[in-house]
Chains A and B, each alone.
Chain A
Amino acid sequence: MRTDRWWVQPLVTVLVLVAFIVYATIRAFQNAHYFAEPYISPFYSPCLTTACEGDTFPELFTGPTWISPALYILVFPLGIRLTCYYYRKAYYRSFWLSPPACAVAEPHRRYTGETRFPLVGQNVHRYFLYAALVINVILLYDAVLAFRDETGEWGHMGLGTLVLLVNAVLLALYSLSCHSCRHIVGGRLNHFSRHPLRYRFWTAVSRLNARHMQYAWASLFSVAFADFYVFLLATGTITDLRFF
């Protein structure tokens, strides 16, 4: 019955997410061109094995060389985005058409939502948040390391530094604006007046939370762009623009 172009939004969502998934899969399995001194691609950080190019993170173990080091950590960013309240809305609507848009009939005969396996598993979202926060710290650390030059001397900054920094900040804002984060810092309380500090945290996170969708998209683009930028440097396609 809706007469407007309600299908535009789900269509755009599908196209963008599919493009990202294809790109990220290729890059994660590529196992090459993810490091260009002093920058490491966010897809490969933290880089845990002895096979890693670069030295941004302690090498914890020796994995088979044919396994891309991105694959060990992939589950964390994948997990948080799959169970994210915002992305759930986005993909339930656009991929699963449940519903495709408001007041547009969905094509399924039965519907049980998130009441049973596997979708009831969405409730573990907070654990992926904890992991994401750890990765946020590591990516901020990578951005700090990008203030060194090729020889390891501090006091360098290139376009790559800026790219990594912006990406790390956007990813951190994405995690901090999370609904689970909002709950954990204070939302679960019933008496804010007895917990003034947590009330302040909750107020701050609530403010970020109102923009969670924007951070979700911005950080998705920035992480792909940061990886692509490192790829271009690593393959020698471009050289880094150096500020100082």
Chain B
Amino acid sequence: MSYDATFRVWRGDATGGDLQTFTVEVNEGEVVLDVIHRLQASQAGDLAVRWNCKAGKCGSCSAEVNGRPRLLCMTRMSTFAETETVTITPLRAFPVIRDLVTDVSYNYVKAAQIPAFTPGPRDADGAHRMQQVDVERSQEFRKCIECWLCQDTCHVIRDHEENKAAFAGPRFLIRLAELDMHPLDVLDRREDAQDQFGLGYCNITKCCSEVCPEGIHLTDNGIIPLKERVADRRFDPLTWLGSRIGRRPRS
């Protein structure tokens, strides 16, 4: 079963652009990226789109479909009515390079600012040991494919470019949570989370969790626990006092 769909695709570059309308064939079982490729092959040979795996695992094909941040390769055409116009735009939170390709370097700059995993001393036999139950929470965040959809959706930077300097974005808040919860990591990352990476900017409205293609519970399992850890240190006089007199080890 195939039909002709109406696609509106944003075309342009850093200096500007607009939505262009195309009619393009759609076959059963296809995803949005298939249709974009057909468009490229048949009508718009120079259409720029970033992709790689077509399997939802490389995180390259992020864009916005009908205004919602999505992976193009994981958005099935069957989710739209045949008569529905499908609008594809580049990630709004990042500067456009061309067409659907944006410059996502902001994310790599933030990534580089996070102090690396810092394990304590090795055991006598030279090994690092940890228990599965202890590292399980951190492992959820390792599923991240760095598609930047959460970063793109987060209103803190999506709607407020000026916050980019102070706010690292949900992807990196869960990176901090991952390391702070890690059984072998010895750095205390709570002060940095608040002061350098802008944890306080997040108002836990959960859009990052809604868009994550890996189903990571960024807010519930990462950001909120991190806020609670920061509260222990900064905002809770009792816990602070407890840690001072040695009653509350963080192990």
Contacts and interface: CB of A to CB of B under 8 A. Distances in A.
Given A88-B204, A209-B220, A183 B156 contact: no
B22 to A, nearest CB: 18
| Contact-size category for B | 35 or more
A192 B181 CA distance: 10
- Most chain B CB within 10 A, of A88, A102, A123, A179, is at A102
Contacts of A93: 205
B227 A123 contact: yes
Nearest to A99: B155
Contacts of B160: 110-111
A234 B92 CA distance: 57
A170 B153 CA distance: 34
B12 interface: no
A106 interface: yes
B2 to A, nearest CB: 23
A4 B67 CA distance: 9
Interface in B39-87: 64, 66-69, 87
Contacts, number: 126
Given A1-B64, A194-B251, A89 B205 contact: yes
Contacts of B92: 103
Interface in A177-193: 179-180, 182-183, 187-193
Interface residues of A, number: 45
A123 B234 contact: yes
B96 to A, nearest CB: 15
Contacts of B200: 113-116, 120
B95 interface: no
- Most chain B CB within 10 A, of A1, A115, A180, is at A115
Interface stretch (B23-31, B101-109, B111-119, B206-214): B206-214
Nearest to B185: A190
Interface string B117-158: 000000000000001011000000000000000000101101
A116 B228 CA distance: 17
Interface of A: 1-4, 85, 88-89, 92-93, 98-99, 102-106, 108, 110-116, 119-120, 123-126, 179-180, 182-183, 187-194, 199, 209-210
Given A2-B68, A126-B231, A210-B220, 4 more contacts: A98-B155, A98-B203, A111-B163, A209-B220
The 3 closest A-B pairs by CB, nearest first: A1-B67, A2-B67, A115-B200
